[in-house]
Structure formats: structure tokens, C-alpha cells
Amino acid sequence: MADRKFALGLDFGTESGRALLVDVATGEEVATEVWEYSHGVLDRSLPDGTSLPPDWALQDPQDYIETLRQTVPAVLGASGVSADSVVGVGIDFTSCTMLPTDAEGTPLCCKDEWRSNPHAWVKLWKHHAAQPEADKINETARRRGEAWLSRYGGKYSSEWFFSKVWQILDEAPEVYEAADRMIEAADWIVWQLTGRETRNLCTAGYKAIYDKRTGFVSDEFLAELDPRLEHVIDEKMMRKVLPLGTRAGNLTPAMAELTGLRAGTPVAVGNVDAHVSVPAAGISDVGKMLMIMGTSICHMVLGRDSKPVEGMCGVVEDGILPGFFGYEAGQSGAGDILAWFVRTWTPGEIQGRSAHEYLEKQAARLKPGETGLLALDWWNGNRSILVDTHLSGLLLGATLDTTLADIYRSLIESIAFGTRMIIENFERYGIRVSELYACGGMPERNKLLMQIFADVTGRSIKLARSSQTPALGSAMFGAVAAGRRGGGYDTIYDAIARMGGVRDVTYNPDPANHAIYNELFLEYAKLHDYFGRGANDVMKRLRGLKARQRG
């Protein structure tokens, strides 16, 4: 153990944070520890009882610090690895998860005078209350013919940085005024670890309209949104954006005390959970799409140039790996649709098994098309390629002999059709997708789902080796921050070769099943376009009526 070197990956998720200690030479994961945030997601009220409007989702930054305190000493202790053997630290975060702080980086919500103001807290990625601001950003960008809009699939999201910043300005100008900095949580935690404020290319590129060739969106544009926003980049952000893998700084003595790591340990600039998973899965070239499969699905793929792919979340040069254009797309519902189905429709157990297990077993006995059902996987709206949160789920083909397993299978199939729609859309724009890779919670648990994805897409699927891909990816970037001379690697590609990779198992498409799914996908595509592209906006009208009637 003495001469082995380790890198630490810190992964900050929606409900919990995780530390993972990884052998730099082999990628072996020697210890891991998870900390469930005490406050989790604040979506009904603040800790002091202040209630929150619908669509809000906040977090307490103290939970992130607590994650460091709880997990890092634990992995060192459990593994027996000495702090001196830890060559670098990398972090990844959900994004866009952002907060207002003072000039020293203290979150406004940690100060007594702001504690009851919801806008002083961390706005989590799934905070959806900035839709009016996003709408105006899109309208203004379209009117001005802003070139950057096509880099975001033609639509800037309510989840992203400027939507959230502007919502603070709109609704709580006093908070906006008091904030010296507006910052991604990914960058904030690095600031806490190193004492140095930095901005990383990944969140800047995907969420804050930054491009390494042209820089940030123009002040003119921001001024047209709201004159008070004109100088927000210079006043409350940073123009300097660091490439991924860059050493942001070194661990402060205070953080060394808190974590048990060595003061001076190199820390990489911040990164995003989905993006950092790509190298962890061993992907270092074009043609291989990684699906991060959980409640929703993120689709990441590399390209050699920038194409205006309809409905993608974004394309950023060097945004995933240096030297490539990193493309991101996504499905807003996946595991959460199956979880909804099981939670709503079944008792927790059926015949002594968990309902998921029982349904998977029953559904696996069915052939493609045998359910007679077809679904649109829009329970949580549609991200790519329609970018429309007001769409909703559809189930078609039910008869009096339709069973639970039939529906369960058709829901899985609909999610796979959604991914196929994204793949075909990428290829239509010239971004090749030859092979699929998967990571996240679902691929390990649900073999049927993986086989259906292979059969529907007609592509083989490899599984990332690690069960904690983001944390592994972060550790890899930590090793890069250390550099070869510091016991790590000089490039992320060196790290991929040694530390990333896939498992032995591959899901290969069954040609006969694929042929049936080709038929069904045509039906899916027809319904997709009919309900999603304006021929019949019934889903939106029903949503509108529902909102009206719920008052």
C-alpha cells in the first residue's frame, strides 16, 4: 500500500454526497462513503418554516461541507490509505445548481439577515420556477438572432444559470444586490476546498453561455434582458474560465483539518456529474454515446465539430474532454416513470417479491409487440428532442386483458424509443452514434431494460465498470490536477487508459426483436410528432386546464 497512489473523487448528488478513493495506477476503488444531506431537497419550506412556492427546489450549502466532514475521513480510515498517498482531489456536482455568496464565498443563506429569504439559498438543478425568465431569454435571443442559441438546441432552459440569476434579480433585487458573487455549487465547493475562486469550462459552457473561442454571451444581450444585468459577468462572475482537469488550487489547512487530507493536495476545477462520467466509462473518442440512467437519462457523445442539433441540451468545445465537442441530450423521465408506476399501481410486494422484480420477470416473458401497447414517455415532459415540459404521458392500446406486466414493459419500451429518437436525431445532424455505454442506477438493476434498449436501438450496450461513475471520473480529474510529477497523469486520456473502463458484459441487439421494434418505433415517431409538434396540443391544453382547476 505504501507506494501506491490514490486520487479522491467527490460527487455531490441531489440527495447525498459521496467520496471515492481510487488507485491511480489501476482505477481500483478502495473505499467509498455516502452522506445523505440532512436537509435533502427543500421544495416545500425552508428549515425555519418559510414556505416555498410550487416548482421551487433549494438546498442548504452546509450539507455539502458536512459531506466533506463525514465522508473523506471515513474513506481514509476504512482503506488505511494515508493522506500523503492521496495525490489529488476532483469534484463533480449536479448542475446548474447555483448560489449567491458574499465576496469571501460565504453563502447569503448562512447569514442571519438572509436566512428567511428563499432567494438566498442554493437553487438546485431542478428548481423550475425561473420559467418566465427563461422564456424571455429565448424570446430575446431569437429576436436578436443570437448565434449561441443553436449551441443549446434552440432553447435556453429555465434550469440554467442566467434564468436563475435573473429570477433572483426579478423577485429579490435586495438579494441580487447583496450578492457579490453568483456561482455554480461545483465552483463554490472548489473555492471552499482551495480558498480560491475559479470557474470551470463545463458549467460555464453548458449553463452560462460560454464558449472558449468567443467567451461569454454579450453584455448587450444581458442589458437587453434587464439593464441591471448588463455587467453581471464582470461584477458577480468571472471572465476567466479554466479547462477541465486544471488544478484550481491546493487544499487549505482548514480543509485539511476537516477532511484528514494533506494541506496542499491539488484540487481540480469543478465539473458536472454526467460529463465526468464519460471518461470514467472509458470513452475517449467519437461514436460512443454514454447514457447516464437514473430517474432521468443524460446522453453524452463526442463530436469533431459543432452542429446545431435540434433539441439537444448543449454542445461545448472541450466541455467533456479536451479536443472534442461535447454533446449533451436528455430524457426528462426514465426511472422515475417506472417508480411512479410501481408506487402508484402496485402494492410494494407481489407474490413475495419486490414489485419491480416481479414485474421485470413477468415482462421479460413477453415478446416485443405482444403487449399490444405503445406509450409516450413524457410523464415528466420531454427534454430532447422537443424541449417541452408541458407534454405528458400517453398509454395506448389497452384492452380488458392488459396486465400490469404489459404496461410495465411498454413503459420501458417507450423510454428506449425516446433514446432512439435522440440517437437518430444526432445522426441526422451528422453526429455518429455507433455504440452505447450505460452507467447509473438502472443498468445494474434492470437487465430487461438494458436488453430492450439494445433491441430498440439496434446497438450494443456496454456497462461502465464502476457503480459510482461520477465519483470515479472526478478522481480521474483529481489525478490529472496532480499531474504525472505529482503522482497522477498529465492528461485525462492517460487517466482513461488506466482508470476508466467497462465490464465484461455487453448487451447485444436481437435482430428479430429489433425488426419488430423498427415497426413499433415508426408508430412511436408518428405519435411523437402528432402530439409533440403542434398537430394536436391536447397535452398542453389539459395541463393548462389542470392548473386552472387546481387553482
Q: Which residues bind a copy of itself (CB under 8 A)?
A: 333, 336-337, 340, 344-345, 347, 367-374, 379-380, 392-400, 402-404, 516, 519-520, 523, 526-527, 530-531, 536, 538-539, 541-543, 545-546, 548-550
Q: How many C-alpha atoms does 379 have within 13 Å on its Cβ side?
A: 18
Closest CA to 209 of 132, 156, 287: 156
Taking the least distance from each CB to a copy of itself, the nearer of 77 and 372 is 372
How far apart (Å, rounded) are the C-alpha atoms in residues 113 and 34? 32
Taking the least distance from each CB to a copy of itself, the nearer of 373 and 422 is 373
Taking the least distance from each CB to a copy of itself, the nearer of 52 and 65 is 52
Which residues fall within 8 angstroms of residue 108, CB to CB, at 6 or more apart? Answer: 99, 100, 101, 102, 114, 117, 120, 175, 178, 179
**Shortest Å distance, C-beta 391 to a copy of itself:** 10
Count the neighbouring beta carbons within 10 Å of the beta carbon of residue 190. 30
Taking the least distance from each CB to a copy of itself, the nearer of 69 and 543 is 543
**Shortest Å distance, C-beta 461 to a copy of itself:** 23
Instruction: Quickly tell me which residue has 406509450 as its cell.
Output: 375
**Shortest Å distance, C-beta 109 to a copy of itself:** 28
Taking the least distance from each CB to a copy of itself, the nearer of 31 and 405 is 405
Helix (H) or strand (E) holding 68: helix 62-79
Closest CA to 391 of 331, 324, 455: 331
Closest CA to 309 of 158, 137, 432: 432
Cβ contact 381:332 at 8 Å: yes
Cβ contact 487:105 at 8 Å: no
**Shortest Å distance, C-beta 523 to a copy of itself:** 5
How far apart (Å, rounded) are the C-alpha atoms in residues 531 and 511? 30
**Shortest Å distance, C-beta 365 to a copy of itself:** 12
**Shortest Å distance, C-beta 551 to a copy of itself:** 9
**Shortest Å distance, C-beta 152 to a copy of itself:** 25
Taking the least distance from each CB to a copy of itself, the nearer of 78 and 542 is 542
**Shortest Å distance, C-beta 113 to a copy of itself:** 36
What are the grid coordinates assigned to 3, written together? 507506494
Taking the least distance from each CB to a copy of itself, the nearer of 484 and 526 is 526
Taking the least distance from each CB to a copy of itself, the nearer of 80 and 441 is 441
Instruction: Quickly tell me which residue has 455549487 as its cell.
Output: 185
Which residues fall within 8 angstroms of residue 217, CB to CB, at 6 or more apart? Answer: 146, 148, 162, 208, 209, 210
Closest CA to 271 of 77, 537, 12: 12
Taking the least distance from each CB to a copy of itself, the nearer of 268 and 373 is 373
Which residues fall within 8 angstroms of residue 140, CB to CB, at 6 or more apart? Answer: 146, 221, 224, 225
**Shortest Å distance, C-beta 94 to a copy of itself:** 19
